[in-house]
Structure 1
């Protein structure tokens, strides 16, 4: 695992942060421009997440059979074409459809980027590689909302999708130049046995527990991602630019968490780090929900949100490493199931965040429920996990 390859994988796996965070500050403007409702506009997020979920579920196991590189290039091309379609969308229906297709392309980039690491590394080395990749990848959610907030008014939401198209073009070049084939022919499965690949990973109880932990931790984070533009801008009265700064600060918390995780892995058991972070996230989410019921003061809610969101960095990378490590022989299928659950959960929670009159309370409650499910799944995984370190 070389540094240039790790940086290339980080950029490719940043498809989701770029495709979601860049246009988040413009969500209220899209609703106004296309004469739509907040719930309908949030379906552009759900459509993207659904595409990511289905795309990964299909592409992951196929990459175990035919190799990684060709499918990675195809996914990068689809992501680029669909970004152009979104920029030119005449109505909310076309925009949702373009986002669905964009999710499929981005899903290919993400699932294969995650599968490359267990192709090359295992145990603590794999966990550290995932942590470092996510640290590098963390630049995307810091820059994307800031750029989106600054450009939302001058170039509009369509202009933001043209910026995303340019980013997708860079990702395609990176895939062409930096990412080699990492799945040797002698280690590939048969296309006829794709169903067996899924049975192989789903029969592993520890893997299933870590996969659900990973997915519902992301679900908690997506409660924040989908609800925060309306909570911060409409509920707290912040501008689009101020919202982008708030979002960037939380993204810096994710980068800090990933860096801390990469250091802790050297001195602590990976599963122990994961468990402690889950408990901290649950406590912060409960306090956040309670505070939102009393007041929408940003001085109370935003610090608690920062603490809760930062824990995702210590949970998701370790859950990915532990889960894919359990099924290393079918890492593409394992990564695909994790991705399907991850973005499937995100697609479900996004429209739910548009319900209720108190957005901050709805967001906090969603985070609490998601974290509780993740914590329960982690307990299940620990009972069946055999250390690979």
Structure 2
């Protein structure tokens, strides 16, 4: 069963299954965000320690994609994906049964490794079975669908926390993955066209070529900074909304839901403007983002409540989603002959850098109010501007 090839009649179903599983990493990252304050109490730990459950997931998710990219090119996509899904399901069972924060952190690290392997294997399906405009269409759709995770996960998690407890969030993850696994076994199969021998030196050489390509590596940095804004908000917003403002986990879930729609809105705008000149539209997105962040900084001393928090964060995240959608799709399709390796490199670096930027800012600035969050946003937007300037100076072929 694990050696079966994708049947042509199931090509469309397999594509939809890949789209269904793409949001899994975002769901696994964000579903228990409204439960963070409760988990601090239940597990007798600290805010910084419980935040590590997100950071460790992102780090292992990123590291996994570095390795997985080469492995799926050497061993194939299908078997690798099935085994990874089984590991992902097992990690959720371990978290549900555990009362130890240390064991939960280990399980989250393992969960990130398996989620990264799943993401790498399924992303390559689009490149394996589609080409031309169809490929561009699905890569753009994939980025938008991926954004569904951060949209629906905290909303679902807020209600699961309110109606049951935080462990129900991980039960949901396990059940969802199990259903997709069954459908994968029935309808999906191997899609790789050419196997690449697993040799360390050629892999490192190819990776070095990608890293030395300016438009590719600068794009990866921009993607990671854009997503760091989302993760940063997820790390600090439950404590701002629930502790500082006194709202419930359900309200925190709704706030994350609204911000998720902001990211998705940016993705749709990016898709609509796909044919516009690449660099100018990204520069305009960054400029508009700066305007909202500066307005957020200036108005916070006058008014800072849940409405202003959501309004300004929404605008900032729309811009981030717009820039991410464009650059992520571009980077994934930049090296089509090394799809698995390049996909792993893009995803791996994106999440590792994202975790460094987001957790570094929560540790360095530790935003406890809207003012601190706006400062962190300003720093991240400045990082995007720097890499856009570097991209323009590099005179990359795609820049118009």
TM score, norm. by length of structure 1: 0.90
Displacement of 1:293 after TM fit? 5.1
Offset at residue 46 of structure 1 (A) = 0.8
Partners in 2 of 1:203 and 1:179 — Cα distance? 35
Confirm or deny that 1:107 pairs with 2:126: no
From 213, 223, 226, the counterpart of 1:214: 223
CA distance change for structure 1 residues 160 and 218 in 2, over 3 Å: closer, same or farther? same
State the partner residue of 2:6.
Answer: none
Structure 1 373/357 Cα, relative in aligned 2: closer, same or farther at 3 Å? closer
Show the 5 A alignment for 1:161-180. 161-180=170-189
Q: After superposition, what is the alpha-carbon deviation per residue over 1:84-130, rounded to whole angstroms, capped at 9, x for unaligned?
A: 11111221111111100000011112223333333445665444322
1: CA distance, partners of 2:385 / 2:14: 33
> Partner of 1:360 in structure 2?
370
8 Å CA contact 2:128, 2:193 repeated in 1: no
* TM-superposition CA deviations, 1:135-157 (whole Å, max 9, x none): 33333333221221112033211
Q: Distance in 1 between matches of 2:48 and 2:288?
A: 31
CA contact 2:266–2:321 (8 Å) conserved in 1:
yes
SS for the counterpart of 2:310 is helix
Aligned twin of 1:275: 283
Distance 1:357 1:327, change over 3 A: closer
Report whether the alignment pairs 1:225 with 2:234: yes
Task: Say whether the 8 Å CA contact 1:273–1:314 is kept in structure 2.
Answer: no
Counterpart of 2:4 in structure 1 is none
CA distance in 1, matches of 2:231, 2:94: 25
Q: Which residue does the alignment assign to 2:190? A: 181
- Separation in 2 of the partners of 1:200 and 1:174? 37
Q: Which moved more, 1:158-167 or 1:191-200?
A: 191-200
Q: 1:215·1:339 contact (CA, 8 Å) conserved in 2? A: no
- The change in CA–CA distance for 1:17 and 1:289 in structure 2 (over 3 A counts) is farther
- Give unpaired runs (5+ residues) of structure 1: none
Please give the residue correspondences for 1:1-389 in structure 2 after superposition, counting only pairs within 5 Å.
Answer: 3-121=12-130, 125-185=134-194, 188-192=196-200, 193-265=202-274, 267-292=275-300, 295-348=303-356, 349-350=358-359, 352-353=361-362, 356=366, 358-382=368-392, 383-387=394-398
Local SS of the residue matching 1:156? coil
Larger mean CA deviation between 168-177 and 349-358 belongs to 349-358
Q: Equivalents in 1 of 2:237, 2:326: separation in Å?
A: 26
Runs of 4 or more, structure 1, over 4 Å off, are 120-125
Q: CA deviation at 1:58?
A: 0.9
Measured in 2, the distance between the counterparts of 1:25 and 1:64 equals 38
In structure 2, the CA distance between the partners of 1:282 and 1:34, relative to structure 1 (3 Å rule), is: same
CA deviation after TM superposition for structure 1 residue 260, in Å? 2.7
Query: C-alpha displacement at 1:34, in angstroms?
Result: 0.7
**Structure 1 contact 353–359 (Cα < 8 Å) conserved:** no
Which ranges in structure 2 are unaligned for 5 or more consecutive residues?
1-9
2: CA distance, partners of 1:325 / 1:143: 27
Residues 309 and 159 of structure 1, relative CA distance in 2, 3 Å threshold? same
CA distance in 2, matches of 1:339, 1:11: 18
1:19-66 CA-partner distances (Å, limit 9, x unpaired): 122111100000000111111110111111111011111111222222
Contact 2:144 2:325 in 1 (8 A): no
Given that 1:12 and 1:171 are in contact with CA atoms closer than 8 Å, whether structure 2 keeps it comes out as yes
**Most deviating of 147-156 and 120-129:** 120-129
RMSD (CA atoms): 2.5
Give 1:3 shift: 4.9
Alpha-carbon distance change, 47 to 13 in structure 1, aligned in 2, over 3 angstroms = same
Q: TM-score scaled to structure 2, two decimals?
A: 0.88
> Is the contact between residue 270 and residue 323 of structure 2 (CA under 8 Å) also seen in structure 1?
no
SS at match of 2:166: helix
Deviations 1:64-84 (A, max 9, x none): 222222222222121111111
